[in-house]
Structure 1
Amino acid sequence: MSNFIVRKAAVLGAGVMGAQIAAHLANAEVPVVLFDLPAATGDANGIVRKAIDALGKLEPSPLATKDRVAYIDAANYGQDLEQLRDCDLIIEAIAEKMEWKDDLYRRIAPFIAPTAIIASNTSGLSINRLAEGLPEALRPRFCGIHFFNPPRYMHLVELIAT
């Protein structure tokens, strides 16, 4: 078996956990695309840009150094799903609502690369049930990757197989 190398990642959901998971990847010098809903007005990536800006204000800082923020790009589900094709790892970190996750999985499935790993940061929903929201071909590459908050300082991550 060859080593799995993450050259680029995506985090779906720019809330507290999603943004900090993106920062954690950026700390490892992994380019990451942080996604959220398109903003209702103004810049379509406004929600994500606000989350990225907030990373620099949190204490303790989720970023190892302030320049690591340059590894994080802003994107939205309405216009930017094509960017998922270049990602080796996709981590979903949206609210703990099964129907929202199912809907998001349906939307992203056509854009997932044939070798990418797809994961959920869920802490309470069934990974096996979440996998059912994906096409059959993607299910063997789906798992749970549950980071504890804050990811940079809690040296613990739970890996959950389907």
Structure 2
Amino acid sequence: MTAAPTTSSALRIRKAAVLGAGVMGAQIAAHLTNAGVETVLFDLPAKEGPKSGIALKAIENLKKLSPAPLADKNLAAAIIPANYDEHLDHLKDVDLVIEAIAERMDWKLDLYKKIAPHVSATAVLASNTSGLSINGLAEALPEEMRHRFTGVHFFNPPRYMHLVEVIPTRLTDAAVVEGLEAFLTTTVGKGVVIAKDTPNFIGNRIGV
């Protein structure tokens, strides 16, 4: 008799999406790409020019930043630029979604509602918030997604700062936390601290 698949089986992370092409989101996308993970970088549709212009500009800018977020400038071409109007279908085959937009609870909640119908039934959704309540953010998700949601806080610059905080909610499946920790340590090369959902978590509270 074959055992039922567990949530952790979903954490073979081959493809990721980063929501938000600001400085932090773009650099997280760069570092996932450094680690060999196929990565889609989303932002709002541009008002002029190509609709994915904001993500395209952010990817181009990665080549100019110092210290370099990319292990090789040519890796910029591997990051897939996307926008929320045209490319939400990319989310259906993504294993990990990292939200890295501005620290506004209302904006994050609106975005979660927009993407929820498109995210696969096994994908892990994580917020890179540095201080908003992870449990509060989880409440905006459909009930069936809440056990797959967690905080994942990279420090700036993501390629060079060794520590990443993982902040589970009350409902986060233990297998999700374990699988994400294994991915971040083994594939991405980070040191992981499991933090409680308190204001500013560990790093920003003690000044790591």
Question: What TM-score results when the alignment is normalised by the length of structure 1?
Answer: 0.98
User: What code does the residue aligned with 2:35 have?
Assistant: A
Any stretches of 5+ residues in structure 2 without a counterpart? Answer: 1-5, 170-208
- Distance, in Å, in 2 between the alignment partners of 1:24 and 1:15 is 14
> Which residue number in structure 2 is paired with residue 86 of structure 1?
93
- Distance, in Å, in 2 between the alignment partners of 1:41 and 1:69 is 22
- Distance, in Å, in 1 between the alignment partners of 2:51 and 2:73 is 24
Match of 2:109 among 97, 102, 105: 102
Match of 1:72 among 72, 79, 89: 79
User: What code does the residue aligned with 1:22 have?
Assistant: A
Matched positions, count: 162
Moved segments of 4+, more than 3 Å:
none
**TM-fit CA distance, 1:62:** 0.1
**Is 1:143–1:161's contact at 8 Å kept on the other side of the alignment?**
yes
- Distance, in Å, in 2 between the alignment partners of 1:42 and 1:68 is 24
Any stretches of 5+ residues in structure 1 without a counterpart? Answer: none
User: What code does the residue aligned with 2:49 have?
Assistant: G
**Is 1:29–1:68's contact at 8 Å kept on the other side of the alignment?**
no
Matched, 1:12 2:19: yes
Q: What SS class does the counterpart of residue 159 from structure 1 fall into?
A: strand
1:120-139 to 2 correspondences below 5 Å: 120-139=127-146
> Which residue number in structure 2 is paired with residue 148 of structure 1?
155
User: What code does the residue aligned with 1:99 have?
Assistant: D
How far does the alpha carbon of each residue in 1:5-33 deviate from its partner, in whole angstroms, 9 at most, with x for none?
Answer: 11100000000000000001000010100
Matched, 1:41 2:45: no
Q: What SS class does the counterpart of residue 42 from structure 1 fall into?
A: coil
Question: What TM-score results when the alignment is normalised by the length of structure 2?
Answer: 0.76
Q: What SS class does the counterpart of residue 29 from structure 1 fall into?
A: coil
**Is 1:30–1:71's contact at 8 Å kept on the other side of the alignment?**
no
**TM-fit CA distance, 1:67:** 2.0
**TM-fit CA distance, 1:69:** 1.5
